[in-house]
Amino acid sequence: MQINTTDTSVGDAGQSPMSRALGITALALLFFASAGFVASYLSYVPGATVAGQSAAVAVAQDPFAELSLEASSVYVEDLTDGTVLYARNPDIQLPLASLTKVAVALVASEVLAPNDILTIPYDTAPTTSAERLTAGQEWRFRDVLNFTLMASSNEGAEILAVAANDALHARYPLSPSRGATLWRMNDLARKIGAHDMYFLNASGLDVSETQSGSYGSARSVARLLAYAASTSPAIFEGTSRDNMLLTSVGGAEARAYNTDQALGAIPGLVMGKTGFTDLAGGNLAIVFDVGPAHPVVAIVLGSTYDGRFEDMKQLVEATHKKLAQSP
């Protein structure tokens, strides 16, 4: 810092050299004293710095910067404006496991109405399970749908695929007469721009020890959930609940328990779906509101069974902090 010691004001015109020297010395002492006071004051102000530069408020730290996640691939997007809030390997193609059931629910709902009656062709679980639809029972489509999504029932997904097949083939003549539901699931992925996503079965179960039942990237899964939440939120309403008691046409009851163990830590949850297989590891995909009409989609792929829930809790918390920083 240089101090300009040349003063052209009228008041100094008649000063002696000694007076001017004393005046300069006094100004210098005053400057350094005030600088010391400012430095002392700023040392108590969080985020303020003075070393080598003028004091300024430091930029707020990115809450996503120090996350400790187990997932191989992560993607978080603000759906109000398309801002990517956080991404880690968002475009690598990974097994999707039961995230597949989001696509099944969407395409089946194109041709089946909530009160359409489905006859259950086989038991969906052993007789000892509370989460069980029994062969021969008649259930409304909406109840089979809720059961399938909440309990992540593989049998439920296959039942929905078969129930919707003929009507989907009639609507989409280019589809095969057998396998129209699977065809439409893949067609939907292409139509929404999820080009690296494809399905080999309706449940997402691994086909073999080396091949998954479905594949896609975190970014593509985000597209699928954003589409689902914007076009068909009522279909997935049950996925925001901890459990649901369902009643068949004949009065039989079945309980569906949500497989999302992070449910209570996600305020404003709009919809969500879990997934887990040997090849996929732990997956979790959600849409949640951070404020009125302010949805965010968050995807976790390739984590562990428990790690996916802890990963998502961190992402939700970081999202709230990040958006709270926005002006």
Residue-wise pLDDT for 272-314, tens only, equals 999 999 999 999 999 999 999 999 999 999 999 999 999 999 9
| Interatomic CA distance for residues 276 and 298, integer angstroms | 17
Q: Mean pLDDT score of the chain, rounded to an integer?
A: 87
Helix extents (H) in the chain: 17-42, 100-108, 141-151, 154-171, 180-191, 218-231, 307-325
pLDDT of 259 above 70: yes
CB count within 10 Å of CB 161 equals 22
pLDDT score for 59: 60
**Phi, psi angle pair for 258, to nearest 5°:** -70, 135
User: pLDDT tens digit string along 130-144?
Assistant: 899 999 999 999 999
Residues 295 and 289 sit within 8 Å (Cβ to Cβ): yes
- Comparing 70-74, 86-90, 125-129, 189-193, the range with the smallest average pLDDT is 125-129
pLDDT score recorded for residue 326: 78
The answer to whether the beta carbons of residues 147 and 154 sit under 8 Å apart is no
d(Cα 186, Cα 197) in Å, to the nearest integer? 8
Q: Coil, strand or helix: which one is 157?
A: helix
Cβ-proximal residues to 14 (8 Å cutoff; 6+ apart), any chain: none
Confidence band of 210 (pLDDT split at 50, 70, 90): very high
Q: Which residues contact 270 (CB under 8 A, 6 or more apart)?
A: 229, 233, 236, 240, 286, 287, 288, 289, 295
Question: What 8-state DSSP symbol labels residue 233?
Answer: G
- Please give the average per-residue pLDDT across 7-26, as a whole number: 42
Longest C-alpha distance within the chain, in Å?
113
* Residue 29 binned pLDDT confidence (cut-offs 50, 70, 90): very low
State the average pLDDT over residues 240-253: 97
Task: Give the predicted TM-score (pTM) of the model.
Answer: 0.82
Q: What is the pLDDT of residues 215-227, one digit of tens each?
A: 999 999 999 999 9
Going 291 to 262 to 227 to 90, the CA torsion angle's sign is positive
Residue 56 contacts residue 38 (beta carbons within 8 Å): no
Q: Show the domains of the chain with their CATH numbers.
A: 73-325 (3.40.710.10)
pLDDT at 10: 37
The percentage of the chain sitting over the pLDDT mark of 90, rounded to a whole number, equals 79
pLDDT of residue 130: 83
What confidence tens digit (pLDDT) does each residue in 50-105 have? 444 444 444 679 999 989 999 999 999 999 999 999 999 999 999 999 999 999 99
